[in-house]
Amino acid sequence: MSKASIQQLPDLFSNLTPNVHLLHLSVLRQQSNQRAGTASTKTKGEVRGGGKKPWKQKGTGRARAGSIRSPLWVGGGITFGPKPRSFKFKIPQKARNLALAQAIASKSENIVILNKLPEIKDGKTKTFLAQAKSAGIMKTPLLFICKEGEPNCAEVKRTSRNVPEVELKDQKFVGVYDVLKANTIVITESAISELEKRFSKLAKGKAKKA
């Protein structure tokens, strides 16, 4: 696993200044969209049983009760409990792209660019760890970013999936939170080219404003 001849990110990334508020919104969006939102409780009307008044209204000396499924009773309904819901919220596509570009720019000192991911012939995790250690890129959390269908991409994903805090993402699906939480980011040349194409519109927009 050797480093590529490219040592720096393209100028597109080096000219970006991170916007903390935008990065915060992007991280919040990514984490919120991962929430299942499936927590569910039953109200008094949904709990089984309790149709009959447990005792008469007067003359028993006990408190008035209309149902054994009241929220005051054990086994009763839940007042204002959670119901299945969606936590998702949206950010404009242009803002998402800008946030990701800024996140990559802020991590420029921790990025290693490779011609391609290493070939792991025996498909073993210890071989992956040995190659990563020899290249000096095992400072975790470690994030690999590659392009779908690239050589050795599937091999690295398979051999690294049992290693804590090591993750491989396709450049289409990598998020701001994935980039910011990583201490080391390994990007292939193909992936960085695709990202540069995606973010080139941002540079054009800035040029028009200027």
Q: Is the pLDDT of residue 99 over 80?
A: yes
Domain ranges of the chain: 11-18+91-209, 36-86
pTM for the full model?
A: 0.79
Q: For residues 3 and 67, which has the higher predicted lDDT (pLDDT)?
A: 67
Q: Which residue has the tokens 């470690």?
A: 142
Q: What is the mean pLDDT of residues 13-42?
A: 93
From the number of C-beta atoms within 10 Å of its C-beta (0-12, 13-18, 19+), residue 149 rates as exposed
CATH superfamily assigned to domain 11-18+91-209:
Ribosomal protein L4/L1 (3.40.1370.10)
Q: What is the mean pLDDT of residues 192-200?
A: 88
Range with lowest mean pLDDT among 65-69, 71-75, 129-133, 191-195 = 129-133
Q: What is the mean pLDDT of residues 4-16?
A: 68
Concatenating the DSSP letter of every residue in the chain gives ----S--S--HHHHT----HHHHHHHHHHHHHHT---------TTTSS---S-SS-SSSSSSPP-S-TTSTTSTT---TT------------HHHHHHHHHHHHHHTGGGEEEESSPPP-TT--HHHHHHHHHHHT---SSEEEEE-TT-TTHHHHHHHHTTSTTEEEEETTT--HHHHHH-SEEEEEHHHHHHHHHHHHHHHHHHHHH-
Q: What is the mean pLDDT of residues 26-45?
A: 95
CB under 8 Å to 5, separation ≥6 — which residues? Answer: 115
Q: Is the pLDDT of residue 194 over 80?
A: yes
Q: What is the pLDDT of residue 173?
A: 93
Q: What is the mean pLDDT of residues 82-111?
A: 92
Q: For residues 118 and 85, which has the higher predicted lDDT (pLDDT)?
A: 85
Q: Is the pLDDT of residue 205 over 70?
A: no
